[in-house]
């Protein structure tokens, strides 16, 4: 993210525009909006304002629920984040006006999010090109057909700069935990999650991978909060000050915890993580080196190539051609 979703000094509530597309799943919708309501309740002030959009006066869920809209799609969305919640078969939802509206919102620099089938509509609108994303598993095969080459991850949620995508079901609880933590710190976000008895906060990678604590070898809540933020900010690296704010401690304390638990400083770990993802993209994607550089937070292909060579002992272009397996093993990175 370019800082748009991190806490700012403004006193106004963070405005979330919510577009429930007809046929949306009520559980996904509730898990998106209820944590924001709970944050307001627990803080006893309006931290978040939810503004509903719809293509008509009322949006109907896949069941009997109805959501009344305050604003129509087509109106300029004066919001800090616009969330599309969809279900059913979003790959068949034909609405050129909706897609145009989403493109206009993206052009105005409004961060966009998709929940459950919502990421499919974002991709069909053409606003996910060059972004990592995820989608509910039932929509993944259709996504591969609709947008060939799209960077789709089998994760609970993915945050890539000013795009947030999320699977359905209860996954939005975890995404909203992350959003609240960015705005008001991890401690308050945990209070909100506890309110829902959702005490086992899942990292963005979700159940497709081992538990975060097991995977990185740390049980420190502060380290886990920072590492989760690192995973969500690969293309737009956060500063040490921003990571320590999310973790709720000072930069010095965070560095000490990282060295004690992971054997390296916070930013050294961050750089290693970005390079690890870059290595996966070099070997497993058709992206150009410039595109991989930008997707992993490097200033350009030259900067990326230099960092990659320092880490793996060979140029990324050579790695793609399969010439580096031996060198990679020598450097302990294969």
Residue 333 pLDDT greater than 60, yes or no: no
Q: Is residue 167 part of a domain?
A: yes
> Would you say residue 258 has pLDDT above 90?
yes
- 32, 161: one domain: yes
Q: Which tens digits make up the pLDDT trace of 25-73?
A: 888 888 899 999 999 999 999 999 999 988 777 777 777 677 877 777 8
Is the whole-model pTM more than 0.85?
Answer: no
Output the domain CATH number for residue 119.
Answer: 3.40.50.880
Domain stops at, among 153, 177, 201: 177
The answer as to whether 188 is a domain residue is: no
Q: Are residues 216 and 331 in the same domain?
A: yes
Q: Are residues 144 and 21 in the same domain?
A: yes
Q: Of 152, 177, 202, which residue constitutes the final position of a domain?
A: 177
Q: How far apart are CA 189 and CA 180, in angstroms?
A: 5
pLDDT of residue 312 exceeding 80, the answer is yes
Indicate the pLDDT class of residue 95, thresholds 50, 70 and 90.
Answer: confident
In the predicted structure, residue 19 carries a pLDDT above the cut 60: yes
Number of domains comprising the chain: 2
Of 69, 46, 45, 37, the C-alpha closest to 56 is 69
Looking at 177, 196, 231, which one is the last position of a domain? Answer: 177
295 within domain boundaries: yes
Determine, yes or no, domain membership for 34.
yes
Name the average pLDDT for the chain. 82
The residue whose two tokens read 């969305």 is: 77
One domain for residues 37 and 154 = yes
Confidence of residue 328 (pLDDT cuts 50, 70, 90): very low
Query: Do 274 and 141 sit in the same domain of this protein?
Result: no
Q: Would residue 118 count as lying in a domain?
A: yes
Residue-number span of the structural domain to which 40 is assigned: 14-177
**Higher pLDDT pick, 71 / 261:** 261
Percent of the chain with pLDDT over 70: 83
Measured CA to CA, the distance from residue 94 to residue 129 in angstroms comes to: 19
* Residues 115 and 170 both lie in one domain: yes
Q: Are residues 123 and 239 in the same domain?
A: no
Instruction: Give residue-wise pLDDT tens across range 188-197.
Output: 988 888 877 6
CATH number, domain with residue 311:
1.10.10.60
173 shares its domain with 78: yes
159 and 234, same domain (yes or no): no
State whether 117 and 265 are in the same domain.
Answer: no
């Amino acid at each position: 993210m370019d800082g748009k979703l991190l806490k700012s000094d403004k006193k106004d509530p963070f405005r979330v525009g919510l577009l429930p597309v007809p046929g949306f799943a009520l559980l996904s919708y509730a898990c998106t909006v209820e944590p924001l309501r709970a944050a307001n309740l627990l803080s006893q002030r309006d931290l978040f304002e939810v503004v509903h959009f719809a293509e008509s006066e009322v949006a109907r869920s896949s069941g009997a629920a109805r959501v009344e809209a305050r604003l129509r799609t087509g109106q300029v969305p004066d919001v800090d984040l616009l969330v599309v919640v969809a279900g059913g078969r979003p790959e068949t939802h034909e609405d050129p006006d909706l897609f145009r509206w989403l493109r206009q919102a993206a052009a105005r620099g409004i961060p966009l999010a998709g929940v459950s089938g919502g990421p499919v509509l974002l991709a069909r609108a053409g606003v996910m090109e060059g972004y990592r994303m995820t989608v509910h598993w039932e929509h993944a095969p259709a996504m591969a057909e609709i947008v060939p080459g799209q960077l789709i991850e089998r994760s609970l949620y993915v945050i890539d700069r000013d795009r947030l995508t999320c699977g359905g079901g209860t996954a939005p609880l975890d995404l909203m935990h992350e959003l609240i933590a960015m705005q008001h710190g991890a401690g308050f976000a945990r209070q909100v999650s506890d309110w829902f008895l959702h005490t086992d906060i899942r990292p963005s990678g979700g159940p497709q991978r081992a538990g975060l604590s097991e995977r990185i070898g740390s049980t420190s809540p502060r380290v886990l909060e920072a590492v989760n933020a690192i995973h969500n900010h690969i293309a737009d690296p956060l500063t040490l000050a921003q990571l320590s704010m999310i973790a709720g401690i000072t930069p010095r304390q965070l560095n000490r915890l990282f060295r004690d638990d992971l054997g390296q400083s916070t930013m050294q770990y961050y750089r290693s993580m970005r390079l690890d993802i870059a290595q996966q993209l070099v070997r497993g994607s058709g992206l150009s080196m410039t595109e991989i550089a930008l997707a992993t937070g490097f200033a350009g292909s030259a900067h990326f190539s230099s960092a990659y060579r320092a880490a793996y002992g060979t140029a990324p272009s050579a790695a793609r051609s399969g010439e580096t397996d031996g060198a990679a093993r020598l450097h302990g990175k294969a």
